[in-house]
Chain A
C-alpha cells in the first residue's frame, strides 16, 4: 500500500486551530490564519467546574469546547463539513483509507495517552487532541500534527489506538474535513469576524451562572484565596499547578490563549479598519501578561518558595484584576459600531 499525498504542514500553537487552518488551506482557503480561525470560532473562554475533577485536580479551561472552533469557523465561512464517528474500528479504518485514496487529508480527534511521538510526561488521558492524516506509506500513516514542527507517522495499530481511546470525550474514531473547496471572499471573512466577535462577547459576558466567562475568572480568584485553608498547602499547590498547565501547556500560545486573541484583533483590523481593534488588542495583551504574572506567583507556591495566606491572596487578586480587564475589553468589543 502506497499513498503519499502532498501536504503543506504548518505548525500552530493549538491543535484545533492548526487543523482548521491547514485543512482550509488544503482546499484553497489561504487567508485564514491561526488567530483568524481562533477568533472566528470564538475560541476564547474561561470556565472552572468546581465539582468535576480532572487528573485529581480542578477542571479549568481557557478555551471553548473541543470541536467548536473548526465547526464554527467552517460554518461562518459557508464551508460544508463532513464529520463521522464510528462504532467499529474496521469501518473507521476503511473510511479513512478511502478518503486518503481520494487524496483527501482528514482531521482526526485522538487521545494523547497512547500517542507514541509525544513525550511520556505529556501523555495523560486527554481525548480531544487533533491531528491531520494525509497519507499512508507501507504500515505508516502520515501525520501532520499542528503542534509539531515537522510531520510525523503512526503505525496502523498506533493510529487505531489513539482514534479509539476511551473515557471522557472519547473520539470514537471521529474524522472531519471540509466537503469541498470554495472561493472565500474578503466580505465573507469580514462577516465571519464580526459574528465570531459577537459570539465571544456573549460567551464571556453574558453566560448564565458564575463559573464561566469573566465572572468565572472572578469566582476562581475568590476560590483560590480559600484553597490554602480548605485543601492544605500541598494540594493547593497541586491545584495551582493544574491551573498553570491548563493556561500555558501545549498550544495556548501563551497567557491562556489571550495573546492569540490579541493577534486576532490585529488581523481583524485588516478587514474592519476600526482603530478600536488595535486598542482592545493591547488590553488582551495586558490580560495575557497578567495571566503569566499570576502563573509566576502560582509557581512560587507550588515550588514551596512562598505559601502564606497573603501569597494566596495575591494569587486570587490577580484573577480578580484579570476578570476586570477582560470584562472591559469585551465590553469595548460589544460597543463597536459595525459599518459592515
Chain B
C-alpha cells in the first residue's frame, strides 16, 4: 500500500484522464446551468441532466481553429452560440482536472444548440461512414461527358433553381434536351423522392449527365441532401452526377458523393454543357485550318505538276532529237576543226618537204660546178666509164646550158675494173 499526498493523487488522476483518447475529444449533451462569463470573455457553466452534472469551462478563443475547419466542411458554419441557463446544448471538449479545487471539468472547444448540434453530429457521422466506405474517393468520380445531348435534372419543378438552370442551359447550349425528374427538395419525403428521381433518370436511360439541385435555404431546408438515401442514390447512378445545392458556402453530403460539385444550381448547369460560344470559336478555327490545309494540298500538287513537267520534257522524243541534233552539231564542228588542223599540218609538211627537195635538187649541185652527163641518143645518165665507148655522143649539162661532144677515149681508174 502506497501513501500519497492529495497533490500526488490529483496529478495522477489528471494524467490518467488526459491520456485517455476518448475523454480528450468527447461530445456531451446537457442543459446549461450556473452560467457566468468573466470580463476576459471566458465562460463558466455546468451541464446537467436528470441525475448528474459536471463543470465546464469555455475559454475565449479555445478551439477556434477546429471551429474554423468545421465551418469549411459542415453545413452549420461556425456561428457561435450565445449560452444561457436552461439551454439544451451539445458541447465538445476534453476532460481534465482543476487541481486547486479537485473538480473534474470539461474544457469546451465547441458548443452548439442541441437541435442543430444533432444535425451536425449526424452529418459528421454519415460523412465519416461514407468516407470510410470509399464513396468520396477520387477514383470513383466519373468524367463528365464532353458533349451531352440529354441533360437530366433532379429538382422541384416550381423552384427558382430550375428556372436558373434552364436559363443557363438555353444561353450556353440550346442544342441539348433536358429531362426533368420532378421531386420535392425539402421536407420529410424529399430524400426518398430525390433518390427515386435519380433512379428513374437512370432507368429511363437517355440522360448523359444528371444535375441534382436546389436553391439556397436554411440548414433544415437543405437537409435532404445530407441524407444517406440521397448519397447512396448518387453513388449508384450509372450516369455522372453534378451537385449544385444552396449557395457557395453550403456543403452537403451529396456534394461529396457527386462526380462533380458545383457551388450553385447555376454553376451546375454551366458545368454540364459546353458554352456555345466555344463551339463557334472552334468552328471558326476549323474553317481557317481547313482552308490552310486545302491550300497546302493545292500547292503541293502544283509543285508536283511542275516537277512532272520537267521530267517529261527531259524524257520526250522531241527533247531527245534536239539533244541528238546538238550532239551531231558538236561532232561535226569537232570534225571540221580536226580536218582543218590535219590539212594545215599537211600543208606545213608539204612546204618543208618542198624546201628539202629544193635543197637536194641537182641543179643546186650543178650550180656549184658539177655537170650532168647523158647519152645524146638515149638520154641515159652516165655515171660510169663502162657506159660509154669512143665516138659516143654525149650531152653535158652545166649551170647555164648544154655542151654537145664526142667521146675520144675511155680511161677507167686503176683497180676499178
Check if A and B associate: no
